[in-house]
Amino acid sequence: MRFVIVTGLSGAGKSTTLNFLEDSGYYCVDNMPVQMIPEFAKLLSENVEIERAALGIDARTGSGFDELENALAKLNEIGIEYEILFLESDDSVLVKRYKETRRLHPLAFGERVEVGIRREREKLSNIKKLSGHIIDTSRMLTRDLKAEIDKIFVNDQSFKNIYVTILSFGFKYGIPTDADLVFDVRFLPNPYYHDDLRPLTGLDRPVADFVMSNAEAGEFLDKIEDLLAFLIPNYISEGKNQLVVAIGCTGGKHRSITLASALYERMAKYEDYGFKLEHRDFGKDAARGK
């Protein structure tokens, strides 16, 4: 039997994940008293009809949550194998989600949402260290989360221990607030000043060919790839599981899109990591009639 314990920060997607797993054939239970976990898992393992099960656990279980490590030790004693999936998200994203749903944070106790999030992070710090799968849903759409859950727990593909978003943007629209690394490619010739290229974007072959015809573009990609190959393993060793690499030009339409797309293609060969490509300011000039 495959037994998955789903936990993490409130608002990070635990209930949604359990729904995905249930739809995929997992027998799912949410918020069972922690002390009952070993016996529950034992009963499931003896039921030949249940091949996959998932149990949702979070800080709402109260003081009983502090017994989770003991419960896990008992699972080890009786020979029940388990996996822990930990879902987390940035504080700012969690606050936004709570405000949108107008729900109260279970550990805020009448105080601000931020206070509840801080308490919960402290409470979950130990179990996060024990987790074999950590997914940061800060930048994930629901379909992205489902795809990742399906990949790991349905299709049995390997878990990517860090997800790197390669993001193109325009400086005139502001530097992305969630960027970990920011690179400026305004040193390259600007296709904007060529009448035939101005209405196109970095997704169009003529623009991409123009940008990449500069030797400096290829050299830039070589250096960034080398830097990321060095940084990513070190970020992982420090517990980071989400990285945003932002590449900017003036308007986020030509050079940044070309370089971000080319970098994404290069990094795809690093199969131990997950990569995602986004173009933040794609189409903004068109929307403004420019």
The CA-to-CA distance between both ends of the chain, in Å, stands at 59
Tell me the C-alpha distance between 24 and 44, whole Å: 17
Tell me the C-alpha distance between 290 and 284, whole Å: 9
Q: Collapse the DSSP code of 210 into the 3-class scheme (helix H, G, I; strand E, B; otherwise coil) and give the result.
A: helix
Angle at 263 between CA 259 and CA 264, to 5 degrees: 120
| Tokens coding 11 | 């608002």
Range in 25-39, 88-102, 153-167, 245-259 the model is least confident about: 153-167
CA 113 → CA 91, 185, 246, distances in Å? 9, 39, 29
The amino acid at residue 4 is V
Range list of H helices, the chain: 14-23, 37-45, 68-77, 91-101, 113-130, 142-149, 205-212, 215-237, 255-267, 284-287
pLDDT digits (tens, 9 = 90+) for 11-64: 999 999 999 999 999 999 998 888 899 999 999 999 888 999 999 998 766 556
E-strand ranges in 9-58 read 27-30, 52-56
pLDDT digits (tens, 9 = 90+) for 140-186: 888 889 988 998 898 876 666 688 999 999 999 999 988 999 999 99
pLDDT score recorded for residue 211: 97
Do strands 2-8 and 52-56 pair parallel, antiparallel, or not at all (unpaired)?
A: parallel
Question: What does the mean pLDDT of the chain come to?
Answer: 89
All structural domains of the chain, each given as residue ranges with its CATH number in brackets, are 2-154 (3.40.50.300), 163-287 (no CATH)
Tell me the C-alpha distance between 76 and 116, whole Å: 32
Q: Considering the entire predicted model, what is its pTM?
A: 0.65
Tell me the C-alpha distance between 111 and 33, whole Å: 26
| Tokens coding 262 | 């080319």
